[in-house]
Amino acid sequence: MKKNYTQASRRRDRLAELLIRICGLFVIVAVVWILVMITRVALPLFYSPKATSIASISLPVELKQSRLLSIGIDETQQELFSLDGKGLVHFIDTRGGTLKESVPVPDPPPGARTVVSAELVSKSLYNLLWDTGVVSSVKIAFSSTRSESGNTIVSHEVSADPEGFFPGSGAFKRSFVRTIEGKGAVRVDQLESDRIRVTWRSKETDLFGNEKATTSSSEIQDPLPAAITAVVLDHAGHYLYAGTRNGQLMRWDISEPGEIRLLDSTAVTGNSPVTALNLVLGDISVAVGDGKGGYTAWFPVTAAGSGEGKQLVRTHVLRPHTGTVSAILPSPRDKSLVSVNDQGVIHIDHVTSERNLLTLKGAKPVAMLALSAQGNSLCSLDTAGNFAVWRLEIPHPEVSLGTLFGKVWYEGYDRPEYVWQSSAANDDFEPKMSLVPLIFGTLKATAFAMLFAVPLALLGALYTSQFMAPRLKSRIKPAVEIMAAIPSVVVGFLAGLWLAPLIDKVVLAFFLSFIIIPVMLLVTIFFWRLIKTASPLERRLRGKEFIVLIPIVLVGTWLAYLLGGIVEVQVFGGDFKQWLYSVLGIRYDQRNSMIIAVALGFAVIPLIFTIAEDALSNVPRNLTAASLALGASRWQTAWRVVLPSALPGVFSAVMIGFGRAVGETMIVLMATGNTPIMSGSIFNGLRSLSANIAVEIPEASLNGSLYRVLFLSAVLLFIFTFIINTVAEALRQRFRRKYGRY
């Protein structure tokens, strides 16, 4: 019985020890786990994009003889189509390469027999130029449904779009038609290699509801430097771009009927011919490919110094091709481009981030390229009549280390800048995700807060640990610890809704208090001297000086308030903020960096105070006693003996405070305007990494770019605080070993 009991308790002891050890080590696991989990979400940002070859089929025999004009592919890579010169749309199964169906284009214009050329206008809308000179539109759309058994079934539809009909006669090299909802249409024809004609058809409805159509036409008169090699018209029919054989890019404004205005004529390639030209999604940037493989993107920018309009400027240089760029195709989803050279090498690049996403090599030169409506299928037809189909997986084309941490030239900006703007109202908006303004905001807030908090906390800790009467100390220390427990949301709320409006009213008094309180202190020190050493009053007040100083601080604040009002009226004409703006040109935000300094400083003071006070108190008493016995004053002892010994501990206190300030969320969120600007002014707000996460993550879609970028900023915060805390802890451990307590 007894033996059993001993055995059982031994067994239990061993088991408990094992469990306890596992539990202890779990702390390390938890820390590592947090880092691993948030990194795992952030990392896919940097995965290289993937293209999977789905099919490689040759043209069905039925189509060998036809003249193909355009191709297209569906979302699921199951079906593709080709449009031929007879106006037939052939749907081909990508798995077997068999012809599924041939559908004639509905309602061809009377008398028209063959299609001269086809242009992809938007997602599934094609403009066809017929041999009679008439242009009509056709919609070739795929749709997919999920069947009961879980397979996707693709169906297609070819329908006419009467809106796109534009009469004309004659033979053209190429024609563009754009219909403007409710207003009419514009048509651009390239007659010969150096003649372009623009025709406007405007529809007007008069008071009685009668529609009146007027047509006007004019030809471009501007002298062309060389033959035109590429032409492109934007979707709104406002701007016409043309590239020439000697490498000039020209841009005309044709938005007003009857008026063609030349806006730009810029050398873009350095004499080699412009061989491919297309607009990036959103119609602001134009991508240019040349005969030597040069590949660049341009958009109009307000030229520095000149008051007049915007000029085309080369904003992005994309990875060059090895030979002549033969075609550029914009992605229908983002600012990516697919381009191909004369040897059949396909590049997929993102314009803004200048990332070369993918390079695909075919065996033969490519004749035609197509992307699906969502941009995740790519199809090419080579000159030998073989189709190649890829599935593209490019989850985050717009994010790269360059866009996160470097300056990026976004559309609509006059120069490369650091911008954080994750969402906007319009659809073709490009998210701008530079972490630099946020890191700047974080460091700015932290720096101001530390500037405010460190002197107060350290001096206060020195006083409490070295000079304060022991009985008071046992009251004050817990008070500061309770102060540390004040929730940051409370501090943030008071900073945002009480302090900010208050300081807004008494900015000057706030500044003056930094002068007046020290002056008051000097005066007090002067009078303090009059109290004789070892007099009853002195003995009574020794170690309690700060109690006398509390009213001094209050009186100082009140004086600063009074003086602030006087100075504002006398010196700044009654309104300091107005003066600031009109004389110095500085904008004053109500929730600015001063508020942050005070609020965030207030939050970290107790933390720094407590740790520093512990370190200072833990310096062995015999050191202090020896110093005092040798005749040093209490200040000399504290300054020359205690502080140097406790320095590692004090330093680690500051670092831990720093780490806390970097990661503090609610105070920064509530006490700043959360504007992600990079300005060093103390009168402006800011946005920190942590507040940014809190603001944006509810709106970020799961696994989207924004979501992952926010996780990345969490990783940054983690790593940053990890380093600070580890160093601080290492310092503290060394300090403890040195003095052997704890």
Partner 1 sequence: MKQYWKTGEPLVMLTGAALAVILVMTLTLVGVVLTNGLGYFWPSHLVRLELKDGSTALGQIMKREKNPLTGEHRLQLKVSNRDLYGQDFRWIDEKDVTGRSLPKDALLLERREHGNFAGFLSGLSVDGLKVDQATSPLEKLKLARAAIEERQPHLDNIRKKMMTLNQQAESMRLKLLKLEYRNREQHAAEIARLTATREQVLAEFNVLNGQATTAQAEIGGFTAQFKDVSGGAKDIPLVDIMRILAPNDMSIPAKMLAYASRVKELLLDEPRESNTEGGLFPAIFGTVMMVLVMSFFSLPFGVIAAIYLREYARDGLMTRMVRIAVNNLAGVPSIVYGVFGLGFFVYGIGGSIDAIFFPERLPTPTFGTGGILWSSLTLALLTVPVVIVATEESLASIPRGLREGSLALGATKFQTLTRVLLPMATPGIMTGLILSMARAVGEVAPLMVVGVVKLAPSLPFDTTFPFFHMDRKFMHLGFHIYDVGFQSPNVEAAKPMVYITTLLLLGIVIVASSMAIYFRTRMRKRYTSSHF
- Residues 41-70 binding partner 1 (CB under 8 A) are 41
Whether 54 and 67 have beta carbons less than 8 Å apart is answered as: no
CB of 478 to partner 1, least distance (A): 5
Q: How many helices (H) and strands (E) does the chain have?
A: 17, 30
Whether 394 and 409 have beta carbons less than 8 Å apart is answered as: no
Phi, psi of 124 (to 5 degrees): -130, 20
Q: For residues 648 and 732, give the distance between their C-alpha atoms in angstroms, rounded to a whole number.
A: 7
Assess 722 for contact with partner 1 (CB under 8 A): yes
Interaction residues for partner 1, span 587-646 (CB under 8 A): 602, 605, 609, 633-636, 639
CB of 485 to partner 1, least distance (A): 4
Specify the residue, 259 or 545, whose C-beta has the smaller distance to partner 1. Answer: 545
Residues paired with residue 179 on neighbouring β-strands, in sequence order: 185
The contact mask relative to partner 1 for 522-551 (x = CB under 8 A, - = no) is --xx--xx---------------xx--xx-
Whether 385 and 346 have beta carbons less than 8 Å apart is answered as: no
Among 227, 469, 497, 571, binds partner 1 (CB under 8 A): 497
CB of 432 to partner 1, least distance (A): 21
Q: For residues 483 and 672, give the distance between their C-alpha atoms in angstroms, rounded to a whole number.
A: 22
Structure-block tokens of residue 742: 């704890």
Residues 6+ apart with CB under 8 A from 227: 193, 194, 244, 245
Specify the residue, 303 or 567, whose C-beta has the smaller distance to partner 1. Answer: 567
Specify the residue, 267 or 490, whose C-beta has the smaller distance to partner 1. Answer: 490
Compute the C-alpha angle 232/238/243, nearest 5°. 30
Assess 735 for contact with partner 1 (CB under 8 A): no
- From the number of C-beta atoms within 10 Å of its C-beta (0-12, 13-18, 19+), residue 209 rates as exposed
Specify the residue, 359 or 733, whose C-beta has the smaller distance to partner 1. Answer: 733
CB of 419 to partner 1, least distance (A): 22
Among 134, 450, 728, 731, binds partner 1 (CB under 8 A): 728
Q: Which of 406, 407, 412 is nearest to 426 (CA)?
A: 412
Specify the residue, 128 or 691, whose C-beta has the smaller distance to partner 1. Answer: 691
Specify the residue, 581 or 718, whose C-beta has the smaller distance to partner 1. Answer: 718
- Sole window of 170-178, 243-251, 427-435, 493-501 interacting with partner 1 (rule: CB under 8 A): 493-501
Q: For residues 120 and 288, give the distance between their C-alpha atoms in angstroms, rounded to a whole number.
A: 18
Whether 545 and 525 have beta carbons less than 8 Å apart is answered as: no
Whether 377 and 371 have beta carbons less than 8 Å apart is answered as: yes
- Sole window of 37-45, 46-54, 86-94, 178-186 interacting with partner 1 (rule: CB under 8 A): 37-45
CB of 740 to partner 1, least distance (A): 13
Total number of residues that touch partner 1 (CB under 8 A) = 114
Output DSSP code: residue 680: -
The contact mask relative to partner 1 for 462-481 (x = CB under 8 A, - = no) is xxx--xx-----x-x-xxxx
3-state secondary structure of 673: coil
Report the run of H or E that residue 482 belongs to, with start and end: helix 470-484
Torsion angle defined by CA atoms of residues 375, 358, 434 and 724, in that order, rounded to the nearest 10 degrees = 130
The contact mask relative to partner 1 for 377-416 (x = CB under 8 A, - = no) is ----------------------------------------
Q: For residues 58 and 189, give the distance between their C-alpha atoms in angstroms, rounded to a whole number.
A: 34
Among 103, 160, 553, 677, binds partner 1 (CB under 8 A): 553
CB of 711 to partner 1, least distance (A): 6
Interaction residues for partner 1, span 423-462 (CB under 8 A): 455-460, 462
10 HSE (CA, 13 A, CB side): 6
The contact mask relative to partner 1 for 654-693 (x = CB under 8 A, - = no) is --x--xx-xxxxx--xx-------------------x--x
Specify the residue, 154 or 656, whose C-beta has the smaller distance to partner 1. Answer: 656
Interaction residues for partner 1, span 14-33 (CB under 8 A): 16-17, 19-21, 23-28, 30-31, 33
Interaction residues for partner 1, span 690-719 (CB under 8 A): 690, 693-694, 697-698, 702, 710-711, 714, 717-718
Residues paired with residue 219 on neighbouring β-strands, in sequence order: 197
